[in-house]
Amino acid sequence: MHVGICEDEEIYKKLVAEKVTVFFAQHGETPVLDVFSDGAPFLQRMQQGIRYDLILLDLQLEHSDGMDIAEKLRKLDAKVPLIFVTGMENRAAEGYSVEAMDYVVKSKLDERLPKALSRFWEKRKDSCLLFETSEGETVILSFRDILWVESQGRGVKVSTAKKEFINSSLPVGKVTAQLPEADFLEIYKSVYAQVREIKRIGTDQVIMSNEAALPLSRRRRKAVMVKVLESVKGRLT
């Protein structure tokens, strides 16, 4: 669980970080927190390829406007859940333009932040794959973190940027049936790649964001190119 917090007031910076840590600890998670005092270094971190599971953003920062930061981060990551934490009650409606999932007023932080985090947690469960490995370990994998899924003998392998998970007896179709159709595409027989993680397309292979090369069916090449271009345009608009 990787959480980004952008807040310039020290007291709220500490309070938000503490409440986020406590909430996820109660749900068996130990979050990694990146805490920023302003928007520029936060956006720079995202531009370097860091992907967050959740972002909490103040609307009124000392050197930048939070809404401007939100619009820019949406171009870098259109789907990351975003919660505004701010003292400005009159700007709640602006959150719709950047698809913020919640708006927490600082004066009601104790009451509202846990509720916002609970809503995030419930939605996150619907956007994850529950996967049991051959060793009997059950892991919860966010669809956002899955780079590709492929058959492995009679089983299946799920690859993320950090690790591969294998079940040698689970049919690949049992997993791919759960993947969001808008985000994953079959690029070769029983090889499904997350479209936004495809960085280069060759004649008979694609290169993923972690530089792994995956086979590409020639008859699927055009469909893959169209889907990748749509994904890129969607992030730029």
Q: What digits encode the pLDDT tens for the residues 52-88?
A: 999 999 988 878 888 899 999 988 888 899 999 988 7
Can you read off the two tokens belonging to residue 207? Answer: 């290169």
Q: How many angstroms separate the CA atoms of 115 and 221, rounded? A: 45
Is the pTM above the cut of 0.85?
A: no
Q: How many angstroms separate the CA atoms of 29 and 32, rounded? A: 10
The answer regarding whether domain 128-236 maps to CATH 2.40.50.1020 reads: yes
Q: How many angstroms separate the CA atoms of 108 and 221, rounded? A: 52
- Partners of 84 in the beta sheet? 57, 103
Identical fold, 2-126 and 128-236: no
Q: What is the CA radius of gyration of the chain?
A: 19
Give the residue extent of every domain in the chain: 2-126, 128-236
pLDDT digit string (tens) for the chain, length 237 residues? 899 999 989 999 999 999 999 999 998 888 999 999 999 999 999 998 888 999 999 988 878 888 899 999 988 888 899 999 988 776 666 667 788 889 999 989 999 999 999 999 888 777 889 899 999 998 889 898 899 999 999 999 999 988 999 999 999 999 999 998 889 999 999 999 999 999 999 999 999 999 999 999 999 999 999 999 988 876 655
Can you read off the two tokens belonging to residue 60? Answer: 């009124």
Q: Which CATH number is associated with domain 2-126?
A: 3.40.50.2300
Q: What share of the chain is helix, strand, coil (3-state, %, to 5)?
A: 40, 30, 30
Q: How many angstroms separate the CA atoms of 144 and 197, rounded? A: 10
The amino acid at residue 152 is Q
Q: How many angstroms separate the CA atoms of 62 and 199, rounded? A: 36
